[in-house]
Structure 1
Amino acid sequence: MHIYRADGRYGSERAVVHRQSWVPREPRSHVASRADTLLHVIRCLPELEALIVVESAARQGFSLDFLRERLPGRRNASSRRILDMVGSGADSLLEILVREQLRRAGLRVEAQVYVEHVGYMDVLVEGCVDVETDGRVHEQPAQRAKDYRRDRSAQIQGFEVLRYTYADIVERPHEMVAEVKAAVARRRARGDLPRLP
């Protein structure tokens, strides 16, 4: 649990106590302001977790410049790096995780790339591997049938399609990255890379 106490005192070891506040909470509220929450998230949470929260806020219209202005100096360099990682186009937290894990592995990735007869690919890797992130909605028969049609269309156009579940992405990210890298290497070795219009 994270709490704000200007005096820094709190009677529990199970809490992280924050003494700094950038943007005051609403009068009579016991909940930190949205801006304060985001700033503390950026400084406290592990990088990927912070990125997911901040990117979600940015998609809802929260200003990254506002956050950046409140994080000056060398002490906040790692926090500003998180802001620099915020991308556009990711449609879910799973897509954000996949995008960042693959980028960190040195692969070129694009989020939400439109391909005719396929629609929007979740994450296109090195222009040839379509990585799809499947949450619970993809377990429904109608959605599964739609996914199969999309996959066939993508494969006909020369893309390799790899689908990953929440468990694959969150619990076994190293396996997912290794499989995507292997697929890219295989496609490069064959030399039959698809061409986007």
Structure 2
Amino acid sequence: MLHALGCLPELEALVLVESASRQGISLDFLRERLPGRRNAAARRILDLVDVGSESLLETLARTHLRRAGFHVEPQVDIRGVGSMDLLVEGCVDVETDGKEHEAPRRRLKDYRRDNTAQSLGFAVARFGYAEIVRRPESMVRQVAALVETRLALGGLPRLEDL
């Protein structure tokens, strides 16, 4: 793990560390083993870790959106909707869909969740592997447009009421 933090590209190392932290590896344990200036880049990767993400796609999408300047909260629980993968600027539900979302039964559940989230005032955007991994700038642009439109409408959802 320590070697990977020093050798892998930043996003790949981040995904690896978040996965390991979900398996019980302590970030403090890793940080203690990365002293000095030569490990500064590895410690910066540890600073990006958010234990709220539940998948590789969530980690990547969250990181790209935060780097674009958005406030992003992972795994926000909304009554009637369930857990949103990423809540951007308090108004856009970004769902990161892996292969499991292709099954017809899962797709119907996703449609119901999306409809409920929209009825509560959230905009909803769904992105798959190819867009998040291969075209993250497109994903960020689409989310930016949704945030801009949603904020212009006003009357944002109040999380404390949900």
After TM superposition, the score normalised by the length of structure 1 is: 0.80
Matched, 1:46 2:9: yes
Give the whole-Å Cα distance in 2 for the aligned partners of 1:194 and 1:178. Answer: 22
Within the alignment, does 1:89 sit opposite 2:89 as a pair? no
Q: CA separation in 1, counterparts of 2:51 and 2:146?
A: 25
Q: Letter of the aligned partner of 2:149 in structure 1?
A: R
How far the C-alpha of 1:69 sits from its partner, in A, is 1.2
- Looking at structure 1, the residues matched to 120 and 70 of structure 2 have their Cα atoms a distance apart, in angstroms, of 21
Distance 1:193 1:164 in 2: 23
Which whole-Å deviations, capped at 9, do the CAs of 1:147-185 have from their partners, x for residues lacking one? 000000000000000000101101110000011011111
Counterpart residue number, 1:3: none
- Displacement of 1:192 in angstroms is 2.5
Q: Secondary structure at the match of 1:123?
A: strand
Report whether the alignment pairs 1:108 with 2:71: yes
Instruction: Tell me the amino acid that sits aligned with residue 175 of structure 1.
Output: S
- The question of 1:63 aligning with 2:26 is answered yes
Instruction: Note the residue ranges of structure 2 that are not aligned, 5 or more in a row.
Output: none
TM-align CA RMSD = 0.7
Structure 2 length normalisation: TM-score?
Answer: 0.97
Select the residue among 130, 142, 145 that pairs with 1:167. 130
1:9-158 equivalences under 5 Å are: 38-158=1-121
Q: Choose between structure 1 and 2 for higher RCO, CA contacts under 8 A separated by at least 6 residues.
A: 2
Alpha-carbon offset, residue 40 of structure 1: 0.7
Work out the CA distance in 1 between the residues paired with 2:101 and 2:129: 11
Amino acid at match of 1:143: R
Matches of 1:39 and 1:158 in 2, distance apart? 43
- Contact 2:21 2:51 survives alignment (8 Å): no
Corresponding letter in the other structure for 2:39: N
Larger Rg: 1
Give aligned pairs, total.
160
2:56, 2:148 → 1: CA distance? 26
The SS at the match of 1:150 is helix
